[in-house]
Amino acid sequence: MARNASKGEGKRRKHDDFFNVDDVDRVVHEPARLAIMAYLSVLSEADFVYLMSETGLTKGNLGSHISKLEEAGYITVDKRFVDRTPRTVLALTDEGRVALIAWRDVMAKAVAALA
């Protein structure tokens, strides 16, 4: 949906008391990645199969989102063997926890700005 912009309105003005879309961390905001991070925020660690079951994501989809979160430094991925069975274990990093809390605060600001 297009809107008319007057001269100089191309850049958004930031107001501390108002929601700004530029403040949203897009890595966290994507629903599947948000779900993964939410689970990991309450668990010390979780394995791939558990997260796949809880989120309803396919192996490929979950793997893709895990890669993005790992690349951003928000989770760690530890591949290990348990009784000769490969197991991928994930955990939220301190940076990931900070990013999740920041996302929550931005969303709270957005909700508070609603009329």
pTM value?
0.81
Domain tally for the chain?
1
Report if residue 112 sits inside a domain. Answer: no
Q: How far apart are CA 97 and CA 87, in angstroms?
A: 23
Report if residue 10 sits inside a domain. Answer: no
Report if residue 7 sits inside a domain. Answer: no
Report if residue 81 sits inside a domain. Answer: yes
Q: 67 is in which domain, residue-wise?
A: 26-107
Distances (CA, A) of 34 to 27, 43, 44, 63: 8, 14, 17, 14
**In a 10 Å sphere around its CB, with 0-12 CB exposed, 13-18 middle and 19+ buried, how is residue 104 labelled?**
middle
Is the pLDDT reported for residue 64 higher than 90? yes
CATH code at position 46: 1.10.10.10
Indicate the SS3 state at residue 84.
coil
Report if residue 52 sits inside a domain. Answer: yes
Q: Which two tokens stand for residue 103?
A: 């996302």
Is the pLDDT reported for residue 113 higher than 60? yes
Report if residue 18 sits inside a domain. Answer: no
pLDDT digits (tens, 9 = 90+) for 7-31: 444 455 555 566 678 889 999 999 9
